[in-house]
Structure 1
Amino acid sequence: MVGKLIFLDLNFYLRGLAFVSSSFGGVIQEIHLTENDIQTVALINRELQTYINNMENTRLRDSIRNILNISRLGNQMMQSNKPWALVKGTAEEM
């Protein structure tokens, strides 16, 4: 489980950082959230609060699951929004 945690977290963070670096010179642009984005952010916030609660109660295995869920949700959000397509063309071209 630890190996999976490290891979998913690194994949999520490095994927985002590499994209921002290569596409926007390392500067995060203003974003406009869709309804799906808002729902995903709410799910991430819920996972984060559960993670904090699990850590405070020394439920490490559950905490690791929360981190994995946050990474999974973030990767899904990035995959569904396809920001790389917006860099190459307009939203209609996606």
Structure 2
Amino acid sequence: MDDRAHIIDWAWPTRGAAWIDPAILILRLLEAGHTLVEADAFARRFPSWLTAPAKATKAFAAANAAAWQEIARAHAAPWKAAMASHADAFHAHLHTSPGTR
């Protein structure tokens, strides 16, 4: 956060559990250069992320990683490959880091 205003363009508007927004935000924070630990710590400010079922967040992270891999394969662009990498890292982080979702 800084003294500038930021506009977030939610490209995939859908209805879902409240914890999905912080999960997606984690990917965008990674894209902006934050570490997984920093991004997860920021997401923990949201009660919905803190109370989300671990099984659900892990399943969502797996599905999101698979979606970004497909997007990156279908339309090669460096930013899409980077997002696929971030999504893979986030998914792995949820499975391997103690104290995470």
TM-score range, shorter chain: 0.3 to 0.5
How does the TM-score come out when normalised to structure 1? 0.37
Instruction: Tell me the TM-score normalized by structure 2.
Output: 0.35
Higher relative contact order (CA 8 A, sep 6+): 1
Larger radius of gyration: 1
